[in-house]
C-alpha cells in the first residue's frame, strides 16, 4: 500500500466539544446519526446495492420522490450542511470563488450545531469542492474528527490525499497525487475557469509523466470508498465506548467519474470509469448500457437550441449517438455499477458493526446522494446540473428511532429537508433560518409531504465564453410538483413544461403547446415565488 504521512500541524481548539448533559433514561437519550451521501448516484444505481436496499426495506422508510434543488455537488452538499437553498447559502459552483473557498459562513454548519448540542462529530470522505486547494490544513468549526480528501485528488478512485486531523496522509501514487494537487492549486486561484484553459493546464501537468499515465496506481487496498469507510467505522467504534452521541458524515466519491484522469487524456475514453477494485471488475465489465426512452432522443425540436446542435463526440448534443460516445457512456455505466456494489459492501459492514456494538437501534441512518446523473438521456453525454428527472431525483432511505419500518413513501421531499430532520431528531438548534422541514411527520403520514420542490441553478458551470463540454449548463429556476416540472432559463428566456404523469421521460415540452397556457402560467408563478423564498415560505 502506498501510504505516507507528509505533514503534521496541531489543530488545537478544533477538537473541543461541548459536554453532553446527563440523560434521565435510555428512552430520552439522543440518537446517534449516520449519514451516507454518495456522489453523482442516479436512482437506478440502487439495483446494484441489494444489501443496503434490503436493510432499509425491512428496517426503515424508502422514499420514491426525493429531489435535489440544485443538482450539482458543491451547492447540493452545502444545502445539506445548512438546510438552506442555494440562493440563501450562496455556494453555487464547484469552482472558486463560489465553492468552499469563498463560503464565508462555513463555520455555521450542521456539525457545529450538533457539537453545541452535545454530539461528537466526524466526517470521512469528500466535503466540498475546493477544499484544500488553497489551504490543506483548514478545518471548519464543528468537527471533532476530520478525515477529508483534498481537491482535486478527491475524485480519484485509488490515489488520494487527506487531511486527517492535521496530518496529511496519502494513499496511492505520490507522483500522480502531487501533479493532481499542483493542478488543483491553479484551479483554486482562478476566479472563473474557461474550459479550454482548464484542459490545457491539466494536460500540461501530466504530459511529462512517464507513459502510460492514464491513471495513477490501482491498488485494491487504496480504494477510496473503502479507505473512507474504515475511518468512519473507527469513529463509530469509538462512539460505542463514549457517553456522548455521535454524528458521522460518510461521503465517498463512489459513482463520480474520475474527471482528472479523463481530462488529462484530452477527454478520451479511458475504460471503466470510475475504476473499481479487482473483485468487482468481472461483475461489471460485460454490462450493457441501458437504452431508456429518453436515451439518444431523436426529436429535440422542443428542447433548447443548445441541445439541438450536434457537437463533437466527446462533448454533448446529438453526437452522443456515435460509437465513441456510446463506449464512453458504457464505461461510465460499468464503473458506476461497480462503485455501487463496493459501497453496498461497505455499508453492510457498517450496519453489522452497529448491530454488534449495540448501537443499531439507537442510530438514525440516512442514505442519499448529492445529485443524480444523466447517461445519454436527451442526448446528454454524462452530466447533472439540469432539471431533468435523472439529474434531480435521488435515492433517499432512512432508518432508526422514530422512523416507520418497512415502508415505501411516495411523498414529495427534498434534500433541503434533511438538515431540519436531523435537527428535529437530535434536539439541536439550527443557527440559520432553514428552508426545509422535518420529515418525521411525512414518514408517518405521506400526505404531509411537499406540494412543490424549488429548482435552481444560479450561475453557469463555466462562465468565460469558448468551447467547453457543457454549453447547456446555464442558469435557470423552476419547480417540481407531484405531476409537473417547469423550468425557465435565464439567458434565453426558454421555458420547459412537462406533464410528469403522462410523460415521465420528459420527451414532450408543453410550454409552447396550445391548451397549456394556464398550466404554464401557474407553474411559472409558483417557480418565481420560490426563486427568492426564505424560511417557511420555501415549504409548499
Q: What is the 3-state secondary structure (H, E, C) of 239-259?
A: HHCCCCCEEEEEECCCCCCCH
pLDDT of the residue at 193: 63
pLDDT band at 326 (very low <50, low <70, confident <90, very high): confident
Give the lowest-confidence range in 63-67, 371-375, 469-473: 469-473
CATH number at residue 483: 3.40.720.10
| 27 pLDDT higher than 50 | no
The answer to whether the beta carbons of residues 325 and 412 sit under 8 Å apart is: no
Helices marked H in 207-310 — which ranges?
A: 224-240, 259-264, 281-284, 305-308
pLDDT of the residue at 22: 33
Q: 160-164 and 167-171 as β-strands: parallel, antiparallel, unpaired?
A: antiparallel
Rg (CA), the chain: 22
Domain annotation covers residue 119: yes
Q: Per-residue pLDDT averaged across 52-80, rounded?
A: 98
The answer to whether the beta carbons of residues 258 and 155 sit under 8 Å apart is: yes
Between 45 and 183, name the one with better pLDDT. 45
Residue listed under C-alpha cell 478527491 = 154
- Boundaries of domain holding 110: 3-9+37-538
Q: How far apart are CA 103 and CA 78, in angstroms?
A: 9
The answer to whether the beta carbons of residues 413 and 65 sit under 8 Å apart is: yes
The predicted-structure confidence for 171-180, as pLDDT tens digits, reads as follows 999 999 999 9
The answer to whether the beta carbons of residues 351 and 370 sit under 8 Å apart is: no
pLDDT of the residue at 403: 98
Counted domains in the chain: 1
CA distances from 204 to 134, 262, 269, 387 (A): 20, 14, 19, 34
Q: Per-residue pLDDT averaged across 202-210, rounded?
A: 80
Residue 511's contacts (CB-CB under 8 Å, 6 or more residues apart) are: 494, 495, 496, 497, 520
pLDDT of the residue at 192: 59
Domain annotation covers residue 507: yes
CA distances from 173 to 135, 183, 219, 511 (A): 21, 16, 9, 52
Return contacts of 431-434, CB within 8 angstroms, 24+ apart. Answer: 431/108, 431/112, 431/113, 432/82, 432/83, 432/84, 432/108, 433/84, 433/88, 433/534, 433/535, 434/82, 434/83, 434/84, 434/535
pLDDT band at 5 (very low <50, low <70, confident <90, very high): very low
Between 158 and 464, name the one with better pLDDT. 158
| 507 pLDDT higher than 70 | yes
Mean pLDDT across the chain: 90
| 101 pLDDT higher than 90 | yes
The answer to whether the beta carbons of residues 413 and 442 sit under 8 Å apart is: yes
Q: Per-residue pLDDT averaged across 96-113, rounded?
A: 96
Domain annotation covers residue 14: no
Between 322 and 42, name the one with better pLDDT. 42
pTM: 0.92
Q: Is the dihedral of CA 45, 471, 157, 132 positive or negative?
A: negative
DSSP designation for 412: E
Domain annotation covers residue 21: no
Domain annotation covers residue 25: no
pLDDT of the residue at 409: 98
| 244 pLDDT higher than 50 | yes
Q: How far apart are CA 169 and CA 161, in angstroms?
A: 6
Beta strands in 19-142 (DSSP E): 32-38, 60-67, 120-125
Domain annotation covers residue 30: no
DSSP designation for 270: -
pLDDT band at 385 (very low <50, low <70, confident <90, very high): very high
Strand-pairing partners, residue 63, are 396, 409
Domain annotation covers residue 107: yes
The answer to whether the beta carbons of residues 100 and 127 sit under 8 Å apart is: yes
Give the lowest-confidence range in 158-162, 223-227, 461-465: 461-465
Domain annotation covers residue 483: yes
Phi then psi for 231, rounded to 5 degrees? -65, -35
Q: How far apart are CA 399 and CA 216, in angstroms?
A: 38
Amino acid at each position: 500500500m502506498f501510504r505516507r504521512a507528509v505533514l503534521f500541524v496541531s489543530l488545537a481548539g478544533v477538537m473541543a466539544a461541548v459536554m453532553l448533559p446527563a440523560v434521565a433514561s435510555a428512552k430520552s437519550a439522543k440518537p446517534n446519526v449516520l449519514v451516507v451521501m454518495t456522489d453523482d448516484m442516479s436512482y437506478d444505481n440502487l439495483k446494484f446495492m441489494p444489501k443496503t436496499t434490503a436493510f432499509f426495506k425491512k428496517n426503515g422508510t424508502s422514499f420514491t420522490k426525493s429531489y435535489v434543488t440544485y443538482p450539482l455537488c458543491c451547492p447540493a452538499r452545502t444545502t445539506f450542511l445548512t438546510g438552506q437553498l442555494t440562493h440563501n447559502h450562496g455556494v453555487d459552483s464547484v469552482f472558486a470563488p463560489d465553492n468552499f473557498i469563498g463560503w464565508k459562513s462555513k463555520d455555521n454548519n450542521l456539525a457545529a450545531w450538533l457539537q453545541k448540542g452535545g454530539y461528537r462529530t466526524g466526517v470521512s470522505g469528500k466535503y466540498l469542492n475546493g477544499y484544500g486547494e488553497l489551504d490543506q490544513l483548514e478545518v471548519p468549526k464543528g468537527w471533532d474528527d476530520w478525515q477529508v480528501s483534498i481537491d482535486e485528488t478527491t475524485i480519484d478512485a485509488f490515489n488520494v490525499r487527506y487531511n486527517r486531523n492535521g496530518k496529511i496522509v496519502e494513499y496511492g501514487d505520490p507522483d500522480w497525487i502531487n501533479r493532481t494537487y499542483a493542478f488543483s492549486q491553479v484551479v483554486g486561484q482562478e476566479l472563473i475557469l474557461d474550459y479550454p484553459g482548464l484542459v490545457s493546464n491539466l494536460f500540461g501537468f501530466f504530459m511529462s509523466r512517464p507513459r502510460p499515465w492514464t491513471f495513477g496506481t490501482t491498488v485494491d487496498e487504496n480504494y477510496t470508498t473503502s479507505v473512507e469507510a474504515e475511518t468512519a467505522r473507527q469513529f463509530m467504534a469509538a462512539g460505542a465506548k463514549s457517553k456522548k452521541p455521535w454524528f458521522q458524515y460518510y461521503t465517498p466519491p463512489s459513482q463520480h467519474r474520475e474527471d482528472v484522469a479523463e481530462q488529462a487524456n484530452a477527454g478520451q475514453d479511458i475504460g471503466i470509469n470510475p475504476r473499481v477494485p479487482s473483485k468487482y471488475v468481472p461483475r461489471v465489465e460485460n454490462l450493457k448500457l441501458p437504452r431508456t426512452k429518453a436515451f439518444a432522443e431523436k426529436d429535440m425540436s422542443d428542447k433548447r437550441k443548445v441541445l439541438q446542435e450536434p457537437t463533437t463526440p466527446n462533448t454533448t448534443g446529438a453526437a452522443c449517438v456515435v460509437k465513441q460516445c456510446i463506449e464512453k457512456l458504457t464505461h461510465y455505466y460499468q464503473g458506476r455499477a461497480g462503485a455501487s456494489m463496493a459501497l453496498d459492501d461497505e455499508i453492510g459492514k457498517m450496519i453489522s458493526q452497529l448491530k454488534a456494538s449495540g448501537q443499531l437501534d439507537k442510530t438514525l441512518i440516512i442514505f442519499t446522494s448529492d445529485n443524480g446523473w444523466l447517461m445519454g438521456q436527451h442526448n446528454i453525454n454524462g452530466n447533472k446540473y439540469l432539471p431533468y428527472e435523472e439529474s434531480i431525483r435521488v435515492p433517499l432511505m432512512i432508518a432508526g428511532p422514530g422512523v416507520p419500518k418497512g415502508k415505501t413513501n411516495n411523498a414529495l421531499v427534498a434534500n433541503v429537508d434533511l438538515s431540519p430532520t436531523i435537527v428535529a431528531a437530535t434536539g439541536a438548534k439550527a443557527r440559520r433560518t432553514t428552508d426545509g422541514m422535518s420529515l418525521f411527520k411525512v414518514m408517518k403520514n405521506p400526505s404531509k409531504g411537499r406540494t412543490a420542490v424549488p429548482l435552481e441553478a444560479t450561475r453557469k458551470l463555466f462562465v468565460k465564453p469558448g468551447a467547453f463540454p457543457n454549453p447547456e449548463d446555464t442558469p435557470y429556476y423552476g419547480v417540481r410538483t407531484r405531476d409537473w416540472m417547469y423550468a425557465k432559463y435565464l439567458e434565453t428566456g426558454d421555458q420547459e413544461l412537462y406533464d410528469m404523469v403522462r410523460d415521465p421521460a420528459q420527451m414532450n415540452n408543453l410550454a409552447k403547446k396550445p391548451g397549456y397556457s394556464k398550466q404554464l402560467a401557474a407553474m411559472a408563478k409558483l417557480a418565481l415565488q420560490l426563486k427568492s423564498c426564505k424560511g417557511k415560505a420555501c415549504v409548499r
